Amino acid sequence: MPLEVNKHVQRIRRYQPFDADTSEMIYELQADWTQSLFPVVTLKYLLDAIERPTTKTIVLTGDAGHGKTSLCASLLAELRVVAEPITPEVRKAVFLELSGAGDASRSLGQTRGGRPLYILSDLSELSPQAGARKLVELLDPPDEGIAIICANEGQLRKCVAEDDNLGKGGTGRAKILVKTLTEGIVRGQVSDPDGTVTVINLNYQSVAADSDNGGLIPWVLKQWTTNQWSRWKPCETCDARNVCPILANRNELNDLTRGPQRRAAIRDVFAAAERTGAVITTRQALSVTSYMLTGGLSCENVHAKYQRSHSNRLWQAPHLYHQALFGDRLTQQQRHLVPAFFALRKLDPGKVSRRQVDDRLDPDTAGDFPPADASSYLQKVRTNRDVQKQAEQLRGLYTFLRRADFFNSDDDTDRFARMGLQAGDDFVRVQDKNRDPADTRVRDRFLKGLEAVQGIHRAGSNPDFFILDPAFFTHRARAAVISRRVPSKGVEVVDQVTQWQREAGTGVTPEMQKAVEWLNRAIYIRILAAAPDQDAVSVEADLLRFELLTRWAAGLRSEVQHEAEIRGLSGALAELADSSNKEDEIQVLVGNIMRKLMIDVGDKIRSVCA
């Protein structure tokens, strides 16, 4: 039988930006129009939004790679056909029209209600001055039409700032766009009060959404590995099939028994990365998934290895999906092309040592493609160099085994801990609407961590929360002045959606949750302000910050390494300090002992135990 080149593998590889044949990284360069597109909920939201009578301008903003142009093209294609499936010919025709008139110079289609649709496919192609004029123009599209503007946030703000300069001919009208964008960040609303302007921040878009379909990652894995066996049929007749890691990855992820849990574990890793604060765009997710599935190899690479040795099974291990996902073989420069690798590597289960995991790992069960020959790490050592070499081999072996076990394990209860996040389960539990309201463990740990940020370490579970005078937050001596004591009873920990509802003062679900593939990425602790007429002060924590607070609450702390985090939290806590206290009694924390300083007659200061 011959050595076969699978065209499906070639198509998958084009999503990797490491080679010259990259052609499908962005929608404008897509060559294969037969490939289906992920049914993102933003498209459905756009189809509804353009039919509202009040809508005039819609802005799609976010980092490059979220699929803004693809959304516009999909919208035009949906409007062009009514009940029929969208054919490759329609998609290609839409692409050509979008390429020719993506400057909003003319209408590219009509809404179901007959209103003309103008699309500015990339605001970054215009200078700030020209962009400002274009934004003002598209706030009132011609013929009572609707304008859709694709813009990254930085360019959008530059153009709005240019229009806000009244001394240089600005109108000041475009600032409604940034104001609506800010409202989306603070309250989760995507439309202005009049409903004329809608700004969808795609940086809230998740590739591992908390929905029934699980988001983009499970969908892509299903498309590339489980659907249409004919795509993988050439591999059946390839001579190198028994030593091919690409085919092995496909079979592992398509396995009827273990495949679903492996794909779910991959989705969980992406979700955890997003919860730690990383913004993973659609483009990055496709690049990582493509590299993971192919192991960075092409069919020709596999054939060359096979021709050197038909039976060698020791070179494949680094290219297996559970190793390639973390980009070990990529250079630092290559990882910068796909920043998602940096976020994923922070959560590498291969770097986390857990006794209950390591005790059950067995090198003899490493699979068809072991990471190394057993004789290489079991041989006798005679010199220090041999010891170092053996230690490195064992470290690599256990990294391989831990990763493989993480994705093969059917126990998903400790996945966060295996990624080095001991507080992950509690973080997710905050989002559970059915959780026991009497369970205050997360709240108490959060408060204890915030006290630790101020340098306060009290034993046990305390019914109140200390806020120091801001002057004593850092580098304080043995004693510190307490500005406020807040009862824990009035403090609550909420998720992102509930926080937006509290800020808006309504129980209505924020539009942002409906406008994007949604995943709660932050939790908030809400503490009553010092003055009764002020709103509660909210301290935000993503999964990484919450992990740090949990560890600080347990007594661990590194002021130098996490100086920026401590400074940010200290700034938030400073808003809670009570500067209006005019009593002649000052509460002081000496070590961990409370004392009161009272001013007596003759301005004498007396100290008593609190």
| Per-residue pLDDT tens digits for 7-65 | 999 999 989 998 755 544 554 455 555 667 888 999 999 999 999 999 999 999 999 88
Residue 34's pLDDT is what? 60
pLDDT digits (tens, 9 = 90+) for 126-154: 999 999 999 999 999 999 999 999 999 99
Give the per-residue pLDDT at 291. Answer: 96
Using a 10 angstrom Cβ sphere, with 0-12 exposed, 13-18 middle and 19 or more buried, the burial of residue 579 is exposed
Q: Is 357 a residue whose pLDDT tops 80?
A: yes
Q: How confident is the model at residue 606 (pLDDT cuts 50, 70, 90)?
A: low
pLDDT for residue 80 is more than 60: yes
**How many other C-beta atoms can be found within 10 angstroms of the C-beta atom of residue 334?**
16
Q: What is the pLDDT of residues 525-540, one digit of tens each?
A: 999 887 777 888 999 9
CA 269 to chain centroid = 10
- pLDDT higher than 90, residue 155: yes
C-alpha–C-alpha distance, residues 219 and 208, integer Å: 10
The whole-number average pLDDT for the span 413-423 is 93
Give the Å distances, CA to CA, from 511 to 215, 331, 514. 18, 41, 5
Q: How far is CA 252 from CA 249, 255, 408, 418, in A?
A: 5, 5, 10, 21
User: pLDDT > 70: what percent of the chain?
Assistant: 90
Q: Is the pTM of this model over 0.85?
A: yes
Determine the Cα–Cα distance for residues 432 and 418; give it in Å rounded to an integer.
22
pLDDT of 228 above 70: no
Phi, psi at 428, each rounded to 5°: -70, -35
Q: What residue has token string 């909003």?
A: 104
